[in-house]
Chains A and B, each alone.
Chain A
Amino acid sequence: AQSVTQLGSHVSVSEGALVLLRCNYSSSVPPYLFWYVQYPNQGLQLLLKYTSAATLVKGINGFEAEFKKSETSFHLTKPSAHMSDAAEYFCAVSAPGGGADGLTFGKGTHLIIQP
């Protein structure tokens, strides 16, 4: 089984500042890694995913994440925060097996954008 740790349940940044949301994982096999975003009163939608191709992954809305195997990390970044980025962000890891053991979500990070 794998696990996901998202550091910081809440992250606050100023509009225009760098966004950095941290995600560390543990997995016994090469994983797939995902970042999802949830806007208020909506379901989750995929921001980006790593599936063993390029380690730097670009997603929607200017977000990107870098897979660092040595650090078991998949941190999400955006150079310049926008007010519309305020949302809940979830990191997830997938490995062979499916079900509860195959797909694990972090507890989420609430991103607050200050004007």
Chain B
Amino acid sequence: GAGVSQSPSNKVTEKGKDVELRCDPISGHTALYWYRQSLGQGLEFLIYFQGNSAPDKSGLPSDRFSAERTGGSVSTLTIQRTQQEDSAVYLCASSLERGGIAGELFFGEGSRLTVL
């Protein structure tokens, strides 16, 4: 597909379980972002990947959260031992960066996580 693809679109899990959220960015986009959006709230930055550089993990809220990006393409966000406060929509976005400046971000539809 031409756009950013995220899966699953909806995930319901029990407290304490691990979850994996997947993001397939637009082909050729070097930059990839994960954001969290709680109900009625703005975007909370989680993590940023740019090419082969070390990711910017400064937004990850705890060590239960981790992410990887394999081969500079697909990314997986993993949340271990989920808590109810992890319930949110997780948005992935990709972009082309020129001169180290973020251009337009292309967002996926998001993965809605509900922790019971």
Contact = CB atoms under 8 A, between A and B. Distances in A.
B15 to A, nearest CB: 24
Query: Interface residues of A toward B: which range?
Result: 20 to 34
A90 B43 contact: yes
Interface residues of B, number: 27
Interface string A43-56: 11110010100000
Taking chain B's interface residues, is the majority helix, strand, or loop, or is none over half, making it mixed?
loop
A105 B42 contact: yes
B48 A100 contact: yes
A34 to B, nearest CB: 7
Contact of A100 (B45, B103, B105): B45
A42 B109 CA distance: 5
B56 A99 contact: yes
B48 A98 contact: yes
B70 interface: no
A102 interface: yes
Closest 9 interchain pairs by CB?
A: A99-B56, A43-B107, A107-B42, A99-B48, A94-B102, A103-B102, A44-B107, A108-B42, A105-B43
